[in-house]
Every structure is written in C-alpha cells, then in structure tokens.
Amino acid sequence: MIEFHPKYIIDRNQNKQSVILSIREWKQIMAVMEELDDIESYDSAKKIEEEVIPFEQAVLEIDSSL
C-alpha cells in the first residue's frame, strides 16, 4: 500500500481546496494509474472476439501484402 503524507491548501473557511504531495508520492500514484489503465486496456481487448494469429504469421501476412 502506498503511504501518503498530503498537505492541504485551505480557504478562509477551512475548506480543503487543493492537495500537495511529494514528487515520490505523485510518481507512485501515476505508476498505479498507468497499471490500472493497462489492465483496463487488456480487459477491453479480451472482450473483442477476433481471430488471434501467431506473431510470426502476422509478420508473414504483412510482408506478403507489401
């Protein structure tokens, strides 16, 4: 689990308006978000029902069409 130490910017009424994180914490958040995006892309691709062909066959088909 990522441990955060946020600092908040508050308005005159003590309402939180913004958050400040260290660069390390921000990079950790971005890494997790990228991983979640990859998982979402993978899940979406798995839902598409298309014929799957081996990489070598795809290369041969592309080369033969050139």
pLDDT digits (tens, 9 = 90+) for 27-64: 999 999 999 999 999 999 888 888 888 999 999 999 99
6 sits in which H/E element: none
The pTM of the full predicted model, rounded to 2 decimals, is 0.62
Give which of 32, 37, 36, 35 is closest to 21, Cα–Cα.
32
Cβ neighbours for 17, distance < 8 A, ≥ 6 positions apart: 8, 9, 10, 11
pLDDT at 23 exceeding the cut of 90: yes
What is residue 37's predicted lDDT score, i.e. its pLDDT? 96
pLDDT at 2: 82
